[in-house]
Structure 1
């Protein structure tokens, strides 16, 4: 039986709505208590495991095991299309866990209210987002299989974005198993593997013919995604464990888009669904990313072939094919986090601004613009069903190949203060027997290695291109990028190598600017290098030149403000940061920097206001919540500080400073038990954390 609205859970959640009830519990919408004044109420979804006294011991153990598995699976997942786990707790003898609340409607609810096939273009766009989430969980180590993908478990937010919910029967893939321990799921959307075995085409499963033992894997979710699309586009549930016949989906929804290929009319989205719902897993799309690519090409008004390498996916009919592209519409992958196009930093999925340089980010862009020169692509998926066409045109913007006329680079000059000393360069691999180097090939290989974070090999390839006749701006600029990103990757482990490689980067960026004085990217990167080397006057000068090249670049104002703060020029820093906000008022990182500045200058009300705006602009930026807590602590508002720190901890639970600050707040409230626990948590993450050790002595 559901708890009444108004019930307080775990001392900090008030039930405001019942979202759903089932045999084993209820899902509630709850409001977090103690939200700082001026900020909007914050809601969570709390899932309850409620076991009836009449439940058998076996079913009870199974329910508890599934509940705990769901918590364990969600604990490590951080993706903008997956509702995030916050934390589990116990209350009144029952088990609960709090999750991110997803406002909106499930696709099941949308179907019920519409009672008609949903618009094709909208369904395709939603399903490509589902593919992004599936790609994320399928590429975990070990892979996670959702196993219950269906319209009821796909939420559409008020911003028309997809969120996957309910990992109740998800499992980690175990290659050592022949079949599933449990075969659960909703039968209309379940793949044949959900039943534990596959029978030959045309055969029925029986005691005498149990079929070949199999377990669900990533391709099982592909089947369920195809079945979900079938329901959304026809308003009919698919027949259980059946592959739709060619033309059957179009017959139920004649408004689906068709194309003429030769003398045959085909429905691209129908072919994608049929391929996804093949009985044999090897005949389906072999990854969610491959299906996303196919779906992208099914969108109306798409060109016949998108830029980049193309592949052909044979349809069920031997006379029809779908042409799709291996690249997204912008020529870049959406796997993993968002790569900053300026500094190459891999930001968390969903980030709006680069954490390293403050550059505004575009969701889905995962390859810097300079790395978009195409290279020979490998076939998508596996087996012989997908064939890559050869790339026939050279990449746009690639440096000209002139191996017969090598160009010597001018001597690299050190910064004016003379502190830079040459680092030992990473040696390029020798070319045997005087074989001429293909400058284009070396350049493209360098870009590929750089995008894959194989920095040593990227440097090798760019140097080959540079020393064998490719002394262009592009090669020098990317050599600088490779050295800088390589330096960033070893910053904590090897400070000496960090400094050497960062100095090398400054030399190549300076050389690139001598070839192209108005290059904003190289000027900005040079400023970042100087700042990383603590050469603040040189950094300020570089960013000033970058500002002159583009007075509307908020990332430049952000960096200028940080440099001014580090130089102690607080008034100048405030003016620069406010100018950046004038251009982009919701720039969360600039708001956080301003908040820190106001804390340092003891302007607490103004700091709190700026930091509240930062949390509203980017609720997943833990630093904004942490700095907001610091401001409240300066005001001795311990409860408000704890509330903000709890939000920071939910986003990033590995930061020792968060726990030591929470310990400090609990100590001020005379809650010593909680303070000791937070000190313990802090020291587990950093045994030498000074603030935690100080509080430990007080306790």
Structure 2
């Protein structure tokens, strides 16, 4: 039974309209209490009857939680975004983006006939875009209940998919689905768990070949949806329409002359999508989108579709999205799939590893997030020749000094004891093993044996820089000296290679660590000229601008980086932090929600989202985000001090004291925790 209008859920959502009801619960339109102008969400409820068996109750809760888990990782303009799961009155809920408009089911009911062909095709093209996105997740997500009722059309004529209640992640190791749910009129044969041969009935004696739903199952459902929209007849369950049958139900559909026959392109698309055998359908949503594009007026593309286009021997299983490597937590580089260490920075590539944030100096409103503490390495000091402090110089292109060309030795010549190759290999091994002192010594030995060249200078710079980074928290002098040595080596390396992208990038990182902003900007600009589509460079330029208080420039750099890589979670977090510091709270919340959906394992995203809600004085929502941050980064003291502040604002002093204690255990000098301790 639906809750009354005006009911307050979770202390912040006021029910203003019932959007839909079903056997398992209700979907409400709610208004967030205390927002001006009003801000609306859709809240989905899982209502479990007291008479429900324990087994059914667990299954319903598991299915509800799976829907939440699926939605957490999705961010696409044609998919309503998850905002917040919660419990109230013993029931389960989650809030998500409210999509204004009407479902295609309602539009069809009000039309009293088939929908216009061209508009329907345009809508279905948009559905294909959303399907391509979820099918390209890793593992792919299969919607399994695509139908007119689950496709919303906004006032701007844009499509939104709204129900992922029975969606599942594709598992290539399974022979069939654990559950076979869905609306039968739009369900593919494999929704039933098996496929029978053409002309055969499914019986206990002839159960058919076991199969599971995959991306092509959603293709079938999309074809069945189109059938309904363009004929105003529900499709016969598990039946492929006969050629000419769709045109007979809607003679106004566009046809073309092919020889002595009139063919209907959109009918051909539907029939191909609804083939019984998955291998005879379109093999991807993108392939169907292209075919639909050809059905639009003035299309110069072919107007006939081969049915079926593939033989049963040409089965193509769901293709995963081409592998995408992790982003380096230090420099922001998108690495190759499977890489364990950043190609450019040498940092470990671990999902959710801590990010080194900018140290904003203007304005000094708060201290920045501190990077994860590094255990100090205490080998003997690196012996390097004394150097003068690096002087800041105008940001102009670095001039290459004339050098004698390096004479390559013949490939066929055997390696000699003094050719430097053994020392170079040892240097790389020690660098990978974080034995920076020995790495420096080996790379210096190579320079003595072979003279300077790009690779050894670049890796010597890396060894100095990483050693310096490892001493940042324990010895500021060693940190500064080694960063200066590193910068010299990278500067020298740029003179030996025309396309010294990585050396310029590392040089910029060194200068940024030394707070030499003009030189850092110059180095990153040199890198940008060599790789204008490298989003990591825009990330670094944005951090540099932000650290100097140039928020407008920082935002422009970050947005340029997102245009190149919209899924760059570190850039989204940086923009969110910028919006917090410039008091653009609503923009900060929206951007940081995107960041947490791109990479839920990055604790910084949840932490900054919590801070944004704190700025908006939304203490419960802040705590919810900070709790996610604590799960992802239990080592970070600032999470606990922020939670302590929230509890104190809510007058929960016991919880606040506990969080202060947790903070000081991790950082006995935490200023915010010490301040709160005095208040408590």
Once the two structures are TM-superposed, the CA of residue 23 in structure 1 deviates from its matched residue by 1.7
Describe the shift of the 1:42–1:418 C-alpha distance in structure 2 as closer, same or farther (beyond 3 A). same
- Cα pair distance change 1:64/1:254, threshold 3 Å: same
| Inter-partner Cα distance in structure 2 for 1:502 and 1:262 | 72
Equivalences for residues 185-334 of structure 1 within 5 A: 185-254=182-251, 256=253, 266-302=263-299, 304=301, 314-316=306-308
**2:95 aligned residue (98, 110, 126):** 98
| TM-score, length basis structure 1 | 0.57
Please state how far the C-alpha of 1:186 moved relative to its aligned partner. 0.6
Q: Residue 116 in 1 paired to residue 114 in 2?
A: yes
Q: How does 1:575-654 map to 2 (within 5 A)?
A: 595=579, 607-608=582-583, 610-613=584-587, 615=589, 620=594, 639-640=617-618, 643=621, 654=632
After superposition, the CA RMSD in angstroms is: 6.2
CA shift for structure 1 position 659: 5.5
Which of 497, 514, 517 lines up with 1:536 in the alignment?
Answer: 517
Q: Structure 1 residues 160-169 or 172-181, which shifts more?
A: 172-181
Change (3 A) 1:55 1:660: same
What residue is the counterpart of 2:420 in the other structure? none
**Which one of 163, 167, 177 corresponds to residue 166 of structure 1?**
163
Q: Could you tell me how far 1:78 is from its partner in structure 2?
A: 4.7
- 1:41 is aligned to 38
Query: Would you say the 8 A contact 2:490–2:503 is kept in 1?
Result: no
Change (3 A) 1:90 1:695: farther
- Sort the Cα spacing of 1:86 and 1:262 in 2 relative to 1 into closer, same or farther, 3 A: same
| Whole-angstrom distance in 1 between the partners of 2:292 and 2:270 | 9
- Identify the residue that residue 152 of structure 2 maps to in structure 1: 155
* Partners of 2:606 and 2:653 in 1: CA distance: 23
| Structure 1, unaligned runs of 5 or more | 306-311, 319-332, 348-415, 422-429, 435-475, 477-483, 516-520, 600-606
Post-superposition shift, 1:237?
1.9
CA distance in 2, matches of 1:135, 1:313: 23
Out of 544, 563, 584, the position equivalent to 1:563 is: 544
Q: CA deviation at 1:185?
A: 1.2
Secondary structure in structure 2 of the residue aligned to 1:30: strand
Q: CA deviation at 1:177?
A: 4.5
Which structure carries more relative contact order (alpha carbon 8 Å, separation 6+)? 2
Taking a change above 3 Å as real, the CA distance of residues 582 and 61 of structure 1, as seen in their structure-2 partners, is closer
TM-superposition CA deviations, 1:55-110 (whole Å, max 9, x none): 56665454344334434444454554433444443322323233333333222223
* In 2, Cα distance between equivalents of 1:337 and 1:264: 51
| 2:651 matched residue in structure 1 | 670
Alpha-carbon spacing, 1:185–1:498, altered in 2? closer, same or farther (3 Å): farther
Give the distance between the partners of 1:160 and 1:506, measured in 2 at CA: 55
Q: Secondary structure at the match of 2:28?
A: strand
Q: After TM superposition, list the pairs within 5 Å mapping 1:384-395 onto structure 2.
A: none
Alignment partners' CA distance in 1, 2:499 and 2:5: 68
Mark the CA change 1:649 to 1:575 in structure 2 (over 3 Å): closer, same or farther: same
| 1:525-565 deviation line (CA, Å, top 9, x unaligned) | 7996676665522233467899999xxxx999997675355
Check conservation: 1:145, 1:172, Cα contact below 8 A: yes
Instruction: Check conservation: 1:144, 1:172, Cα contact below 8 A.
Output: yes
Closer/same/farther in 2, CA of residues 557 and 77 from structure 1, 3 Å limit: closer
Following TM superposition, by how much is the alpha carbon of 1:203 offset from its aligned partner in structure 2, in angstroms?
1.6
Question: Could you report, residue by residue, the CA deviation over 1:167-214 in whole angstroms, capped at 9, with x for unpaired residues?
Answer: 222334455544334332111101111222222101222344332333
Q: Distance in 2 between matches of 1:199 and 1:168?
A: 27
Q: Is the 8 A contact 1:543 1:556 kept in 2?
A: yes
* Whole-angstrom CA distance in 2 between matches of 1:530 and 1:548: 19
- CA shift for structure 1 position 626: 6.5
Contact 1:513 1:523 in 2 (8 A): no
* Alignment partners' CA distance in 2, 1:133 and 1:171: 14
Q: Distance in 2 between matches of 1:263 and 1:144?
A: 43
String of CA shifts for 1:378-432, please: whole Å, max 9, x gaps.
xxxxxxxxxxxxxxxxxxxxxxxxxxxxxxxxxxxxxx969999xxxxxxxx999
| TM-superposed deviation, 1:663 | 2.7
Alignment size in residue pairs:
530
SS of the residue corresponding to residue 163 of structure 1 reads strand
Task: Report the counterpart of residue 395 of structure 1 in structure 2.
Answer: none
CA shift, 1:242, in A, is 0.8
Q: 1:135 to 1:431 in 2, by over 3 A?
A: farther
> Unpaired runs of 5+ in structure 2?
311-320, 336-388, 393-397, 401-408, 414-453, 455-460, 473-478, 564-570, 597-603
Counterpart-to-counterpart distance in 2, 1:22 and 1:578? 45
- Give the conservation status (yes or no) of the 8 Å contact 1:591–1:613: no
Query: Does the Cα contact within 8 Å between 1:530 and 1:538 map onto a contact in 2?
Result: no
Are 1:180 and 2:158 counterparts? no
1:244: Cα distance to partner? 1.8
Moved more, 272-281 or 81-90: 81-90
SS at match of 1:16: strand
How many Å apart are 1:21 and its aligned residue? 1.0
8 Å CA contact retained: 2:579, 2:587: no
Which residue of 2 is the match for residue 394 of structure 1?
none
Question: In structure 1, how many angstroms separate the alpha carbons of the residues matched to 2:126 and 2:630?
Answer: 28
Q: Could you tell me which residue of structure 2 aligns to residue 9 of structure 1?
A: 9
State the 1:649 CA deviation.
Answer: 7.3
Q: How does 1:494-573 map to 2 (within 5 A)?
A: 535-541=516-522, 562-563=543-544, 565-566=546-547, 570=549, 573=550
Whole-angstrom distance in 2 between the partners of 1:229 and 1:133: 20
- Please say if 1:128 is aligned against 2:128: yes
Partner secondary structure for residue 183 of structure 1 = coil
Report the CA distance between 1:281 and its aligned residue.
1.8
Secondary structure (helix, strand or coil) at the match of 1:279 reads coil
Deviating more after overlay: 61-70 vs 149-158: 61-70
1:89 maps to which of 86, 98, 103? 86
- Structure 1 equivalent of residue 21 of structure 2: 21
SS in structure 2 opposite 1:31?
A: strand
Aligned to 2:404: none
Secondary structure of 2:594's partner? coil
CA contact (8 A) 1:588 1:615 kept: no
Distance 2:630 2:228 in 1: 38
CA contact (8 A) 2:629 2:639 kept: no
Q: Distance between the aligned counterparts of 1:216 and 1:526, measured in 2?
A: 48
Q: Which one has the largest radius of gyration?
A: 2
Give distance in 2, aligned partners of 1:4 and 1:81.
30
Instruction: Say whether the 8 Å CA contact 1:200–1:211 is kept in structure 2.
Output: yes
CA spacing shift, 1:338–1:581, aligned 2, 3 Å? closer
Rate the CA distance shift 1:593–1:88 in 2: closer, same or farther, 3 A: closer
Query: Structure 1 residues 8 and 539 mapped into 2: Cα distance closer, same or farther (>3 Å)?
Result: same
How far is the alpha carbon of 1:117 from its aligned partner? Answer: 1.9
What SS does the corresponding residue of 2:64 show, helix, strand or coil?
A: helix
Cα deviation, 1:633-658, whole Å, max 9, x if unaligned, reads 6xxx7834665675687899746555
